Amino acid sequence: MNQPISTPITLIFGPFDPTGSDGLPADAVTCAALGGHAIAALTAVTIQDTAESESVFPCPAEQIDDQARCLLEDVPVGAIKVGALNSAEAVSAVAQIAADYSQVPLVLHLGAPEITTEQPEEEEEEEVEDLVGSVLELLVPQAHVVVIEARRLTQWITEEVLEASGLTAGPQALQAIGADWVLVTGSPQRPGHLVNILLGPDNETFTWPWVAPPERLRDSGGLVAAALAALLAQGLSVEEAAKQACAHAEQALAQSFQPGMGRRIARRHPSAS
């Protein structure tokens, strides 16, 4: 599955975002910008504009499984990127695929969970807890690289979603449950200065400066994760792929644009600076 091919291919698990700011359309552009090609297993369809999401329609777990396996039996995949999943059943299906294709590097983006919004608030909170718990239990232990924003990691440890086991550094909490590498984006180093931190399986640590975009955009972790997976598919080491992915994401965010009345969108295929 990892033999060199002329165009490195990345399998994307993620939702269809009609604005093109995140999910499958955006990740496909990221892969193309880095010289690769994306194939995809759809996890959900959203009804949204650039300001907010109105509804989320999850795909059945069986459909996600069938689509991914159909592609994997046909196409040599160099890396897998897992984005937003919308149910514990979907997580289980993707986890089984990851186990069956464990030789393929898996990049897991731990972003904000998206579930159906047409339900009582208490049920929604319970569903989010179950969803996050399933991801931590079934997917993190199989991840070659986990990508997460610093503020989300801090929140999960503070709220005891993640058990830090007495460790003060956040990335180790994810390694403790099985992640090989952890890339934390936007970690405060000192007032006004952010860094991206990559922690390896032998406690090796790499850091790169991170310039926060001037305006609030959507979670930039999905962009970093897609770029990282596309570069791993080319055969780069995790350190080099993470370094280049962060640089690509920073450039794309710096060239963001505002097509509507809501949030800005990263230019996933940035022009040369």
pTM of the full predicted structure?
A: 0.93
Residue 73 forms part of a structural domain: yes
pLDDT, tens digit, 9 for 90 and up, residues 154-203: 888 888 888 755 554 578 999 999 999 999 999 998 787 899 999 999 98
Tell me the sheet residues that pair with 245.
none
CA distance 256 to 137: 35
pLDDT, tens digit, 9 for 90 and up, residues 137-151: 999 999 999 999 999
Residue 19 forms part of a structural domain: yes
Residue 197 forms part of a structural domain: yes
User: Residue 178: which of 70, 273, 71, 95 has the closest Cα?
Assistant: 95
pLDDT, tens digit, 9 for 90 and up, residues 72-88: 999 999 999 999 999 99
User: Residue 228: which of 68, 31, 77 has the closest Cα?
Assistant: 31
Give the chain's count of helices (H) and strands (E).
8, 9
* CA angle in degrees (0–180, nearest 5) for 106-111-112: 145
Residue 190 forms part of a structural domain: yes
In this structure, what CATH number is given to the domain that contains residue 58? 3.40.1190.20
The total number of structural domains in the chain stands at: 1
Q: Which domain holds residue 24?
A: 9-254
Residue 270 forms part of a structural domain: no
Burial class (CB in 10 A: 0-12, 13-18, 19+), 154: middle
